[in-house]
Amino acid sequence: MKGKTLVISGGTKGIGKQCVYKFAQNGINVAFTYHSNKQFAIDICKDIEETYKVKCKCYAFNILEPQTYKELFLLIDEDFDSVDFFISNAMIYGRAVVGGYGRFMKLKPRGLNNIYTATVNAFVCGAQQAAKRMQKQGTGGSIVSLSSTGNLVYIENYAGHGTNKAAVETMVKYAATELGQFGIRVNAVSGGPIDTDALKAFTNYEEVKAKTAELSALNRIGQPSDLANTCYFLCTSQASWLTSQTILVDGGTTFR
């Protein structure tokens, strides 16, 4: 794994930040995107490089303009020798999902379209650029999309997100089937409710947190590191025959 390169969208907080540190501490160079907090992203890069002695670069990127992944990867090409792993992690919440976050009868096209763009279109555009490089390198690679169990169990106000998570998991299967011939594996990691800023944006955050701990066989809500560890595993040779799968990391909540 040492000397290889991870590209991940959304690396400044939550699951993305945990992935950045998990891969870096195992000797992997990291290229990650940020949306608005440039200085915070730069500080993460400085900490990564000083602590783990790997290369780390950050790039401004708007997940609602996934077509610009092409330009982003050209910048990454200038800074790194290869692209070995790609994780589609960045998501949207807050004002961008107005009309997409709510009960069924309140859903509106604009919010739903934004969620689809940031979830499915972003995965497709990012994975295409990563796969082109993996194919050219001839060494294979691993692509991972983050998902959630909101497409398996009912979560209040989550219809917009849940249906798009189902869509991206299906897209993962198609990508895996067509890219396998190049040694490129594609999987999804589906988390039960994870204690992140995105979850805190839920109007019923405290209720969801308490209910998750109640439903979990492990009596706690999930942490970003729980998903980061699984993303890392899927990129190692220990997962060399795992592709086209959605790995549930839910503390047993979907069974209750």
Distance CA 53, CA 240 (A): 27
Pick the catalytic residue: 136, 158, 173, 211? 158
Examine the residue annotation and report whether 205 is marked as an active-site residue of this protein.
Answer: no
Question: For 32-85, where are the alpha helices, taking DSSP H only?
Answer: 38-52, 69-79
Examine the residue annotation and report whether 59 is marked as an active-site residue of this protein.
Answer: no
Contact of 197 with 154, CB cutoff 8 Å: no
DSSP output for 183-219: TEEEEEEEESSB-SHHHHTSTTHHHHHHHHHHH-TTS
Distance CA 9, CA 64 (A): 12
Pick the catalytic residue: 4, 17, 22, 165? 165
Question: For the chain, where are the alpha helices, taking DSSP H only?
Answer: 14-24, 38-52, 69-79, 109-116, 122-137, 159-179, 197-200, 205-215, 224-235
Q: What are phi and psi of 192, to 5 degrees?
A: -70, 180
Contact of 83 with 96, CB cutoff 8 Å: no
Distance CA 160, CA 120 (A): 12
| Residues forming the active site | 158, 165
